Amino acid sequence: MSKKYNISVEATLEVIGGKWKPVILCHLIHGKKRTGELKRLIPKITQKMLTQQLRELEHDGIINRIVYNQVPPKVEYELSEYGDSLREILHSLCLWGEHHIERTYGNSKDYLEDSVLNQ
């Protein structure tokens, strides 16, 4: 009848899978971000994909969308309380990536953009 998962990780992937969602969320674990900030932090993402992914994350209760009623518009995104339950996982995913880059290339400085995230 109802939708079945063969293994629970499939449910996780429905929510945070894909090319952009983990990236967006890894930025949000460092705090609230405006739309434009996210675009700057993720230079290769298009407006369309950014909005689309943010909408889905909001729909799944992972992030909050905070709209300030002003012109020009100001919108901020943050991890919701529920999304915060992903914090450790997201952090581990970032950490593993750093280790992997080092293992693969010998160092991470030359292959990883400097940013608040990679200290």
Partner DNA sequence: TCCTTTAGTTACTAAAAAGTACCTACATTA
Partner DNA sequence: TAATGTAGGTACTTTTTAGTAACTAAAGGA
Site of interaction with a second copy (CB under 8 A): 2-13, 15, 17, 19, 22-23, 26-27, 41-44, 82, 85-86, 88-90, 92-101, 103-105, 108, 110-113, 115, 117-118
In the bound complex, what is the minimum distance in angstroms from residue 100's beta carbon to DNA?
18
In the bound complex, what is the minimum distance in angstroms from residue 103's beta carbon to a second copy?
8
Name the residue nearer to a second copy (CB basis): 44 or 71.
44
User: Phi-psi bin for 109: left (phi > 0), alpha (psi -120 to 50), beta?
Assistant: alpha
71 near DNA, judged by CB under 7 A: yes
Name the residue nearer to a second copy (CB basis): 74 or 91.
91
Transcribe 9-43 into DSSP letters. HHHHHHHH-SSSHHHHHHHHTT--EEHHHHHHHST
Residue 13 corresponds to which tokens in the numbers above? 């992937």
Q: List Cβ neighbours of 91 (8 Å cut-off, separation of 6 or more).
A: 29
